[in-house]
A and B are shown apart, each in its own frame.
Chain A
Amino acid sequence: MHLGKAATFQAAGVPVPLIEAEGSLARLDTLLARLSVWRLIVLGDLWHAPAGMTERTLSAFCDWHAAHAELTIELVLGNHDRKLSESLHRRTGLQPLACLPEAPFYFCHEPEENAEGLYALGGHLHPGVRLVGPGRQSLAAPCFWFRETSGVLPAFGSFTGLGLIRPQRGDRIYLPIRPPL
């Protein structure tokens, strides 16, 4: 989700509009309610960087967390989350895991990890594809990318960007058409 990314940029003097964490969290709420979710697994990079974890953002997250006491939230550590100090993690109220093997899935951040023979589900890449239409039109869109032994979910946050992928024969690609989903 890369919460606090815009704030990280601002702290470094890069003038980007402030995108409040509430936006992404509200979008998540819509999904949670619609799908009656009771367990949420975050596949890494919940936070962007410590510099963006301002008091405001942190308390917005904690409020949101408190409002979902019924929900089990598990965070698999992403490369960005690893930059957080022990105490910052404690403040978020989450206990991060390196990975989460649970047959038939192996939940992780980087989908190339050794998945102990399970089907790896990850994030990290922010997969996207470019669709090309007639008249030099093209459109890049986030996608789900399922391969033979692993699958990659698209990024969820509002300021996350795309990594264009090169699908191979046999891969399945799904595009979420109308956001949010």
Chain B
Amino acid sequence: MSVEPQDQAALERVRNWFTEEGWTPFAFQEEAWNAYRRGESGLVHSATGTGKTYAVWLGALLEVLASPSPTPGLKALWITPLRALATDTVQALQRAAEALEVPWRVESRTGDTPPAIKARQRETLPEALVTTPESLSLMLSTPESNALLSGLRLVVVDEWHELLSTKRGVLTELALARLRAWNPDLRVWGVSATLGNLEEAAETLIGKPGTLIRGNLEKEIHIDCLLPERIERFPWAGHLGKTLLPQVVEAIESSASCLLFTNTRSQAEIWFQAILEARPDWKGQVEIHHGSLDREVRDAVERGLKTGRLRAVVCTSSLDLGVDFTPVDRVLQIGSPKGVSRLLQRAGRSGHRPGMPSRITCVPTFALELIDVAAVRDAALAGRVDRRPRLERPLDVLAQHLVTVAAGGGFQEREMLSEVRTARAYRDLTDAEWRWTLNFVTRGGESLRAYPEFQRVALAGDRYLIKNLDVAKRHRLGIGTIVSDATMEVRFAGGQRLGSVEESFVARLRPGDRFVFSGRPLEFVRARGMIATVRPAKRLQGAIPRWMGGRIPLSTELAHAVRLKLEEASGGELLGPEMQKMAPLLRIQAAWSAIPAADELLIERVQTREGHHLFFYPLEGRLVHEGLAALFAYRLAQVRPLTFSLACNDYGLELLSAGPAPLDEALERGLFSTRNLEEHIRGSLNAAEMARRQFREIARVAGLLFEGYPSQRKGAKQLQASSGLFYDVFRQYDPDHLLLRQADREVLERQLEHSRLFEALERLQRARLILTEPRRPTPLAFPMLIDRLRDSVSTESFAARVEKMTVMLEKEADQTTG
């Protein structure tokens, strides 16, 4: 690039401003500015650290300084996945513009923007706008969108890794395709955490390969672990947690401000309660934060963190992202970190000042999780971060987008198809799929079964448009892909909102029942409509609500690292304090059975009073194990009819049967074969019921579900039906409906991690089998035994029974080592 004098002057100005602020431009920032000025699109990534915002933002400002644009109107769009980030982002962007004397106004436009400002923005937009994927889609649904948005030069998508494998990401891809069609010179930049598939991430954002710029030097991260005094040789999930409570309290005490991440909302409630029981004097200094709490409650907690007023917050992934909490100097991760990227993301929430290290301390709730901690540190040090797969042509999102565009001025079929295909997710969209989706929004389905009364998108001349204003209005209310669970609002009789819990939890409550929510003891008064009324109860006790979807499996990279850790152990090497701590457990495992190396598959055959157990240890994460367990049970039962009960965790799976299972014959016949895999999975699982549940999201995105007008609950009653009802009706009257097939596919991919399962089977085929026949359940088997038991007995007798079993096994183990 030849450097023009005005470019040089502009760059000087930026450097001067940086010097005034006491900063120096990082090399990657200048690299990004230059790439931008060359007209390139790309992705700026780094594990943690700051500087990414100005890396993508100042390129645009430099351009204006060098060659001011004569035309007014919107020049830059900044897309953030989190509404809460919008305000801070506007401030940061505006600050740079003012310092460099670029006469740009920066505003935000999200669901929180007041109607008066939105109305003004419909007429004239500022030069830069911070918005969300949904608000952008909403803008595209207005006829003025072309005029307002076609002057754009830059679109930045912040936290792109968060959007990448979601339907929100696909919605963003489609919106970007539209903006690019209006302005072929548009530059698109992403800001992302480090991922295992950065090229793919960039290509998905830009529609073609882009420039990758590696951000700030790696931030220093300390990963350590609270080690229990001693561990059980026969561990079970959840047991270890409480014994570490004093150490957790101590850790909180010794830090200025800390975040305690848990893996589920229920766990957050439990830990919050336990900490306050241990330290009642911390009331008001320790708070709880999770996605089911009311927005206002969460906002108050976030403010407390920002100002440093709070000593600690127990939270879930609800705080994985968001504004920086500068005072936080330590993060505790309760339970397995489950993934490398997840751990790094959470660690990065601490030490947010330049030069400060991030510190994360893992708190195992279960002895085997010590392996996860040792493994995650290895993987993080080696830079083996997780991939985030992109989504492949979800038709529900396409249908929604087509209606959006039809509302926003309409489209021509040919043009639209080629535009849609520039989005990575739809590059391989077939003509048949396109025609089907177009028919779906115009005729309600295949042309052969045209529905005469259907009114949505109509053809006028050669343009597809929405003629009916009501239809357009209803569509705008439904834009987006976020689906709320079937939840009920929890409220005090006085009207104060606390948050929401799952309907199924409320269904089990009787008036007078107690439960703990939002860290408060509550008494259930009544349920009416979608509102559960409660009043404060005196003592902190009672059930903890369980929310759906708390079962994150070990990520592929972490599972791999765990296998390597066990391989070291099988060779007698116990590296790291966590593995050392595991020594007694691993010794018994090796003595009674074996510790599998990374290229081995351990199978244990054990007989107990309960029956014949088969334990497999593929170490592939819970979801894959669920799929494998069902598949193995199905294939074993094909050799000889048998009924199995199944149990799984992140490390292995268990098949229990009354008689011995024909393992050898099944192995000969290809127990691990990938042939007929899909068919066998469908045969082995209640796939239809799973698809029916998955259909809720699809029905919502494709515009089948209408949740009513805000503040006007009535009026649309006749248009309300449950997604289950739609599912049943489609199955019966239109079984080839492509949205049904999409539901099947999403069940396979998301709930069973089909591609991972496929890869796991290929690995198992190559693995060396180690079949052992221990006399008793081994330390690796024990937790699965317990999990199965947990489902069938009440809590009191459960603990007692586990205790008894542990004592028995410990005695035996003492004889082994003794």
Asked if A136 lies at the interface with its beta carbon under 8 angstroms from chain B, I say: yes
Let me know if A15 and B721 touch, CB within 8 A. Answer: no
Q: Is there contact, CB below 8 Å, between B468 and A13?
A: yes
B283 interface residue, CB < 8 Å from A?
A: no
Q: Which of B34-42, B339-347, B588-596, B724-732 contacts A (4 or more CB under 8 A)?
A: B724-732
Give B403's nearest chain A residue, CB to CB: A13
Closest chain-A Cβ to B505's Cβ sits at a distance in Å of 14
Q: How far is the CB of A24 from chain B (nearest CB, A)?
A: 13
Interface flags, A1-43, vs B, CB<8A=1, else 0: 0000111111111111111000000000000000000000000
What does DSSP make chain A's interface, helix, strand, loop or mixed? Answer: loop
Q: How far is the CB of A94 from chain B (nearest CB, A)?
A: 20
A109 at interface, CB cutoff 8 A: no
CB B655 to nearest CB in A, in angstroms, measures 13
CA gap between A16 and B732 in the complex, in Å: 12
Across the interface, do A10 and B729 meet the contact criterion of CB distance under 8 Å? Answer: no
Would A15 and B456 be within 8 Å (CB), given that A49-B718, A51-B718, A136-B686 are in contact?
Answer: yes
Q: Is A54 an interface residue (CB 8 A)?
A: yes
Interface string of B502-545 (1 = CB under 8 A from A): 00000100000000000000000000000000000000000000
Q: Which residues of A contact B441 (CB under 8 A)?
A: 15
B449 — which chain A residues lie within 8 A by C-beta? 17-18
Write the chain B residue with the least CB distance to A12.
Answer: B719
What residue in chain B is nearest A49 (Cβ atoms)?
A: B718
Would you call B451 an interface residue if the criterion is a C-beta within 8 Å of the partner chain's C-beta atoms?
Answer: yes
Cβ-neighbour of B729 out of A16, A51, A56 (below 8 A): A16
B718-A10 in contact (CB<8A): no
Q: A8-B718, A161-B725 are in contact. Are A13 and B451 (CB under 8 A)?
A: no
In the complex, chain B residues whose CB is within 8 Å of the CB of A80: 718
Which residues from chain A contact B453 at a C-beta distance below 8 Å? 7, 10-11, 18, 52, 54
Q: Does B706 contact A (CB under 8 A)?
A: yes
B618 interface hit (Cβ, 8 Å): no
CB distance from B816 to the nearest CB of A (A): 35
> Which chain B positions have C-beta within 8 A of A17?
444-445, 449, 451, 729-730, 733-734, 737
Known: A10-B444, A13-B471, A136-B686. A19 touches B729 (CB 8 A): yes
Which A residue sits closest to B644, measured CB to CB? A135
Chain B residues 78-124 with CB under 8 Å of chain A are: none
B470 lies within 8 A of chain A by Cβ: yes
Contacting residues, chain A, for B475 (C-beta < 8 A): 13
A138 nearest CB neighbor, chain B only = B689
Q: Please give me the residue from chain B that is nearest to A164 by CB atom.
A: B507
Q: Is the CB of B718 within 8 A of A159?
A: no
Q: Which of A13, A80, A161, A166 has the most CB of B within 10 A?
A: A13
Which of A7, A12, A48 touches B471 (beta carbons < 8 Å)?
Answer: A12
- Complex contacts, B445 vs chain A, CB 8 Å: 15, 17
Q: Which B residues between 440 and 459 are near A, CB-CB below 8 angstroms?
A: 440-441, 444-445, 449, 451-456
Chain B residues, Cβ within 8 Å of A158: 729, 732
Nearest CB of A to B444, in Å: 4
Residues of chain B lying within 8 A (CB to CB) of residue A137: 686, 689
Contact in complex: B721, A161 (CB < 8 Å) = yes
Known contacts A7-B453, A137-B689, A14 near B719 by CB under 8 Å: yes
Interface range on chain A (Cβ under 8 Å from partner): 35 or more
A131-147 at interface with B (beta carbon < 8 Å): 135-138, 140
| Residue ID in chain B nearest A134 by CB atoms | B645
- Contacting pair A15 B729 (CB below 8 A): no
Residues of A within 8 A of B452 (CB): 54, 56
Complex CA–CA separation, A11 to B451 (angstroms) = 9
The smallest C-beta distance from A5 to any residue of chain B, in angstroms, reads 8
Q: Are B721 and A8 in contact (CB under 8 A)?
A: no
> When chains A and B are docked, how far (Å) is the Cα of A60 from the Cα of B724?
28
Whether B456 and A9, one on each chain, are in contact in the complex, defined by CB atoms closer than 8 angstroms, is no
Q: Does B474 contact A161, Cβ atoms closer than 8 Å?
A: no
CB A129 to nearest CB in B, in angstroms, measures 12
Contact among B507, B645, B689, B703 for A14, CB-based, below 8 A: B703
Confirm or deny: B704 has a beta carbon within 8 angstroms of a beta carbon on chain A: yes
Query: Chain B's nearest CB lies how many Å from the CB of A107?
Result: 24
- Residue from A10, A54, A160 in contact with B455 in the complex, judged by beta carbons closer than 8 Å: A10
Docked Cα-Cα span, A19 to B475, in Å, equals 23
Instruction: For the complex, give the distance between the alpha carbons of A19 and B468 in Å.
Output: 23
- Minimum CB–CB distance for B654 against chain A, Å: 14
Given contacts A137-B686, A161-B725, A166-B507, contact A15 B718 (CB under 8 A): no
A161 (CB) vs chain B CBs: closest residue: B725
In this complex, the member of A11, A17, A140 whose beta carbon has the largest number of chain B beta carbons within 10 angstroms is A17
Closest to A14 in B: B704
Closest chain B CB from A18 CB (angstroms): 5
Given contacts A51-B718, A136-B686, A137-B689, contact A13 B440 (CB under 8 A): no
User: Does B722 touch A at the CB level, under 8 Å?
Assistant: yes
Q: Mark B476-507, 1 if CB is under 8 A from A, else 0.
A: 00000000000000000000000000000001
| Chain A residues near B646 (CB-CB < 8 A) | 135
User: Which residue of chain A lies nearest to B440 when distances are taken between CB atoms in the complex?
Assistant: A15
Report chain A residues within 8 Å CB of B645.
Answer: 135
Shortest beta-carbon distance from B245 to chain A in Å = 32
Q: How far is the CB of B627 from chain A (nearest CB, A)?
A: 14
Whether A14 pairs with B706 at a CB distance below 8 angstroms is yes
Closest CB in chain B relative to A180 CB, distance in Å: 14
The residues in A between 93 and 144 inclusive whose CB is less than 8 angstroms from any CB of B are 135-138, 140
Minimum distance in angstroms from B614 CB to a CB of chain A: 17
Q: Enumerate chain A residues within 8 angstroms of B471, measured Cβ to Cβ.
A: 12-13
* Cβ contacts under 8 Å, B721 to chain A: 5, 9, 16, 159, 161
Most buried by B among A11, A137, A162: A11
Query: Shortest Cβ distance from A58 into chain B, in angstroms?
Result: 13
In the complex, the chain B residue whose C-beta lies closest to that of A140 is: B724
CA of A52 to CA of B454, assembled, Å:
11
Q: Closest CB-CB distance, B724 to chain A, in whole Å?
A: 8
B59 CB, nearest partner CB in chain A, Å: 43
Which residues on A sit within 8 Å (CB–CB) of B689? 137-138
Within 8 A of B (CB), among A25-82: 48-49, 51-52, 54, 56, 80
Task: Give Cα A24–Cα B488 distance, bound, in whole angstroms.
Answer: 34
B474 and A16 within 8 A (CB) = no
Chain A residues whose C-beta falls within 8 Å of the C-beta of B456 in the assembled complex: 13-15
User: In the complex the two chains form, what is the Cα distance from A8 to B706 in whole Å?
Assistant: 13
CA distance A54 to B451 in the complex (A): 12
Interface contact A11-B722, CB-CB below 8 Å = no
Once bound together, how far apart are the Cα atoms of A48 and B818, in whole Å?
Answer: 77
- A109 CA to B84 CA, complexed, in Å: 47
B454 in complex: contacting residue of A10, A19, A83, A140, CB < 8 Å: A10
Chain A residues, CB < 8 A from B702: 15
Min CB distance, A123 to chain B, in Å?
16
Given contacts A8-B719, A17-B449, A158-B732, 6 further A-B contacts (CB under 8 A): A14-B706, A15-B441, A15-B454, A15-B703, A17-B737, A136-B686
- 18 A–B pairs (Cβ distance < 8 Å), ordered by A: A7-B453, A8-B718, A10-B444, A12-B470, A12-B706, A13-B454, A13-B475, A14-B456, A15-B704, A16-B729, A17-B449, A17-B729, A17-B733, A18-B449, A19-B729, A135-B686, A158-B732, A159-B729
Q: Which 8 A-B pairs have the closest CB atoms?
A: A13-B456, A15-B444, A17-B733, A49-B718, A13-B471, A10-B454, A161-B725, A17-B734
What is the interface of chain A, defined by CB distance below 8 A to chain B?
5-19, 48-49, 51-52, 54, 56, 80, 83, 135-138, 140, 158-162, 164, 166
Which B residues lie at the A interface, using CB under 8 A? Answer: 440-441, 444-445, 449, 451-456, 468, 470-471, 474-475, 507, 645-646, 686, 689, 702-704, 706, 718-719, 721-722, 724-726, 729-730, 732-734, 737
